[in-house]
Amino acid sequence: MKAKSKILLIDDEEVVRDSCTQILEGGPYEIASASDGTAGLRLVEEFQPDLIFVDLKMPGISGFEVLEKVAAMDPTIVMVVITGFATISSAVDAMKKGAYDFLPKPFTPEEFRLITRRSLEKRRLTLETISLRREKEMLREHFAHIVSHEMKAPLSAVQQNLFALEFELAETLNETQKETFKRTKSRIDELLKLINSWLRFVSVDINQLQEKFVQVSVKDEIARALETIGPYAVRKDVEIITAIDESLHPVIGDGLSLSEAFGNLISNAIKYSNDGSKILVKAEENANDVVVTVKDEGVGISKEDLPHIFEGFFRGKSGQAMASGHGIGLAVSHQIIEAHNGSIEVESEPGAGTTFAVHLPKANPVQPTTG
């Protein structure tokens, strides 16, 4: 049997409390009422309502104070203001303090029923969202545990034993056997890199990341990324050209994460570029943002693939015959940039290259900059 929704009425006018109760009688509701804010707050703890109707003007604690205190106690409780002194400014103030909606007196029974249904639906969706987030977090942790302990650890052990075996047999191996060892080690290394990419993708926690935010030099983080990626570009004979504005404003963020995001974009550009081609890495700013652009001359991305490139584990058709990929790097970059209140735009045509543009809000220069 479905539990009844709990509704709390807080109003100093008995006639209002009685009429609201009568309107909802016979419905799937459990109703409690209080004649002032103090009694209402006490009932919030005891009754644990899903929905509260509160008058703004009452003796003692005002409705505004009730809104603030309830929002601090349990922000998932939906609160609706009912008052005979409705003004635009009071409605705005009530919304700022946590009210979901505003119902001016007098109101019809149908208006009251409608706002009750709508508010309880809001409460249901809020609780469902919280539940889904918790479930997602549990699945994320479970996936990370399985990948780390059931895949990475055994594979690392195989890799270590393979190294030891190769060393032990070094003097007796013929060229064919040496080549077999080489290919096997390379494949294991690729699998370990893939597993580490999976773990990184599921480990990006926006809240934890934002706790470490300070002012960051975008120029320094691009340089850090290029230092790491540089050898890869050399191996593919790809030239990286930089055009970095020397007077860039800092941004608020986590330096290592931003370096990783830039590195993923540059690495992706190298991966899908032809040998001997060029990549432009540019950083400039407009009125509000620092804009980092990575432009390549590679195979490009089809219109069908463009909407999906930031999805985890997505790998489109473009360039599949040229390079291997598992669709993790761009998804991680997208997560990181969004955590920094930024955005990534992409423009591409098959055979004409791809341009990624990262927009990051400029920081107010009040904190020390870190590289």
Residues near 225 by beta carbon (within 8 Å), at least 6 away in sequence: 259, 260, 262, 263, 266
pTM (whole model) above 0.75: no
- Give the tokens for residue 254: 């986590």
DSSP state of 108: -
- Asked if residue 365 lies in contact with residue 215, where contact means CB atoms within 8 angstroms, the answer is yes
In the block, residue with structure tokens 């599921």: 202
Which 3 state secondary structure label does DSSP give 137? helix
- H-only helix segments in 56-211: 63-73, 88-96, 109-145, 153-168, 175-203, 206-211
Q: What is the pLDDT of residue 322?
A: 35
Sign of CA dihedral 110, 111, 114, 119: negative
Q: How many whole angstroms separate alpha carbon 335 and alpha carbon 354?
A: 20
Radius of gyration of the chain (CA): 29
Alpha-carbon distances, residue 343 vs 105, 203, 338, 361 (angstroms): 44, 20, 6, 9
| The CATH classification of domain 210-370, taken from the options 3.10.620.30, 3.30.565.10, 2.30.29.30, 3.40.50.720 | 3.30.565.10
Q: How many whole angstroms separate alpha carbon 285 and alpha carbon 330?
A: 23
- Asked if residue 340 lies in contact with residue 260, where contact means CB atoms within 8 angstroms, the answer is no
Domain ranges (residues) in the chain:
5-107, 137-203, 210-370
Q: What is the pLDDT of residue 313?
A: 60
- Give the tokens for residue 80: 């609706």
Q: How many whole angstroms separate alpha carbon 102 and alpha carbon 368?
A: 44
Q: How many CB atoms lie within 10 A of CB 102?
A: 18
Sign of CA dihedral 123, 125, 131, 134: negative
Instruction: Please give the chain's pLDDT, 371 residues, in tens.
Output: 678 999 999 999 999 999 999 999 989 999 999 999 999 999 999 999 999 999 988 888 999 999 999 999 999 999 999 987 766 778 788 888 999 998 988 899 999 999 999 999 999 999 999 998 888 778 777 777 787 778 888 888 888 999 899 889 988 999 999 999 989 988 888 788 778 777 777 766 666 777 789 999 999 999 999 998 888 899 989 999 999 998 999 999 999 899 999 999 999 999 889 889 999 999 999 999 999 999 999 888 888 888 888 876 655 655 433 334 445 788 889 989 999 999 999 999 888 899 999 999 998 755 445 55
Burial class (CB in 10 A: 0-12, 13-18, 19+), 335: buried
Nearest alpha carbon to residue 268 among 311, 202, 323: 323
CATH homologous superfamily, domain 5-107: Response regulator (3.40.50.2300)
Q: How many CB atoms lie within 10 A of CB 158?
A: 14
At position 301, the amino acid (one-letter code) is I
